[in-house]
């Protein structure tokens, strides 16, 4: 049973446009959410996170939105750049087991020049 | 460069071999992790060490044996693996393992580049 779902395996966007990556979760105990970015032949790198007490967190071109009632979060990248092309993983953690990140399968983002 | 270094980057081993994966972190973190990434599957947590003590073992077969001699180093000893164990093995570290208090900024995990393991 997959508790964190990224239903789009891939997304293609034009440079300069907005990229929206989606993530759904089923475990209502999750209270912390993270996005990781992964280039080929490299490990994932932390990108941005959000606590369940917030509905939005912004860091430069990256904004994460959390809709707790829908158990949905999204990552917005504006404007998208070719260097943003990578696999993006959504991850979640529950209070009391914060070290245990549950990951989605990832979405491959391709930003075309 | 994330501050977490894994060696080797690639490893091919036979089913009767014994090998070890090494992870080293220079971030002063207290918690270290082994993850497995198989094709078309989510990252799976295998083991967690906090202050050199194993605090999590996610039903991993005994042919995988972790070792954490100090807070900067983590090993994964491999023996009599199966072809289905072929995967990318990722090491990660985080500042702390905080039991029961929830997450706060700074406890995000930092990953190494991974070891691509092929069992033949």
Residues of B with CB under 8 A from a CB of A: 2, 4, 6, 9, 31, 33, 40-43, 45, 48, 50, 55-56, 90-92, 94, 97-103, 105, 107-114
**How much helix, strand and coil, in percent to the nearest 5, is found in chain B?**
0, 55, 45
Residue B22 near residue B75 (C-beta atoms within 8 A) = yes
B49 to chain A: nearest residue by CA?
A99
- Residue A98 pLDDT exceeds 70: no
B40-73 tens-digit pLDDT: 788 888 888 887 777 777 789 999 999 999 989 9
User: Apex CA B54: angle with CA B12 and CA B3, to 5°?
Assistant: 60
**CB nearest to A104's CB, from B9, B42, B112:** B42
- Residue B102 pLDDT exceeds 80: no
- In this prediction, residues A49-78 reach a mean pLDDT of 94
Residue A81 near residue A109 (C-beta atoms within 8 A) = no
User: Apex CA A111: angle with CA A106 and CA B2, to 5°?
Assistant: 55
Q: What is the pLDDT of residue A21?
A: 98
Residues of chain B with Cβ-Cβ distance to A31 below 8 Å are 102-103
Listed range (A98-112, B6-20, B77-91, B102-116) with the worst mean pLDDT: B102-116
3-class secondary-structure state, position A98:
coil
Cis amide bond preceding B8, omega within 30: yes
């Amino acid at each position: 049973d997959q508790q964190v779902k990224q239903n789009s395996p891939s997304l293609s966007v034009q440079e300069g446009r907005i990229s929206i990556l989606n993530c759904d979760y089923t475990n209502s105990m999750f209270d912390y959410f993270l996005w990781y970015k992964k280039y080929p032949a490299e490990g994932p790198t932390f990108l941005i996170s959000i606590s369940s007490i917030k509905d939005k967190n912004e860091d430069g071109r990256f904004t994460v939105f959390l809709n707790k009632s829908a158990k949905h979060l999204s990552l917005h990248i504006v404007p998208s750049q070719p260097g943003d092309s990578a696999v993006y993983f959504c991850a979640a953690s529950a209070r009391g087991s914060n070290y245990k990140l549950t990951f989605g399968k990832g979405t491959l983002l391709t930003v075309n020049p | 460069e994330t501050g977490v270094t894994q060696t080797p980057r690639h490893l091919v081993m036979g089913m009767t071999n014994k090998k070890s994966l090494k992870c080293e972190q220079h971030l002063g973190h207290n918690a270290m992790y082994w993850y497995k990434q198989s094709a078309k599957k989510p990252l799976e947590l295998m083991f967690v060490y906090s202050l050199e003590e194993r605090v999590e073992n996610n039903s991993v077969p005994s042919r995988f044996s972790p070792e954490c001699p100090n807070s900067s180093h983590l090993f994964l000893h491999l023996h009599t693996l199966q072809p289905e164990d072929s995967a990318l093995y990722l090491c990660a570290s985080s500042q702390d393992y905080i039991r029961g208090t929830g997450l706060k900024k700074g406890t995000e995990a930092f990953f190494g580049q991974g070891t691509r393991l092929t069992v033949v």
